[in-house]
Amino acid sequence: MEFKNVSKSFGDRLLIDDLSFVVPHGAIIGIIGPNGAGKTTLLKSLVGLVKPTPGHIRVAGRDTRTMETADICRHVAYLPQDPNALLFADTVADELAITLRNHGRAVNEPGAQAQIAQMLQRLRLGNMANAYPRDLSVGERQRVALGAVTVTQPGALLLDEPTRGLDYASKQVLVEMIQEWSAAGAAVVIVTHDVELAAALAHRVVLMSQGEIIADGSPAAVLSASPLFAPQVARLFPNSGWLTPEAALSGLRAVTR
């Protein structure tokens, strides 16, 4: 995915301003910043829900101005902040089946059914296949929506506040899945206020403010330098380069040897 000089305004308000960056295969990019920084607008523009004026966005080598949103979404999965926006089927399994059907799969085939069952098991939803999605908790609905957009194994994932409503165990499942997708070559962009997630998972962190990129680099460089977005470990151990509890424990063991 590639942004080149992308801007977007609504009325007199400039939401994103001359953004240029590339998300290569296998990269996990964390997008952080205050509310109103333009983070969600950036994600929406990648799937064609918002059209940049001016600027160019390329997905899998194609200019998105020549593509319909449905075509873009064959390559890019988008999980919005509100999972309810994606849930409208009668059962959890049907949510995933609809995605497969929209991508030209015959959902009654054994292979498709096995794919759905495997995804639900990975998301700890195996016993909820026949449940009505809107009867579930916020965290469970978030996981159903995640399964619905990723069951086709797209080449790129856009996740907007994916840990909202998740307990610790579900968050760990999400982290492991994102790492697996990245290792398989998927490009992942995560918009999040969860700086601990960005510290633990992102290969690169982009800090936005008022529609602009004000910092772009390694998690250690960007998060440690930010008084507002530094993880707790970085606040406890300033100038250490440690961002996560695992890094701090490893560093402390090395110091005490």
Catalogue all structural domains in the chain, each as residue range(s) with its CATH number: 1-75+158-219 (3.40.50.300), 86-153 (no CATH)
d(CA 217, CA 161) in angstroms, rounded, equals: 20
CA atoms of 65 and 17, how far apart (whole Å): 18
Positions in the chain whose pLDDT score sits under 50: none
Phi, psi (deg, nearest 5) at residue 221: -70, -45
pLDDT of res. 94: 94
Quick: pLDDT tens for 73-101: 888 999 998 888 889 999 999 999 999 88
pTM: 0.90
Report how far residue 190's alpha carbon sits from residue 210's, in angstroms, rounded to the nearest whole number.
Answer: 18
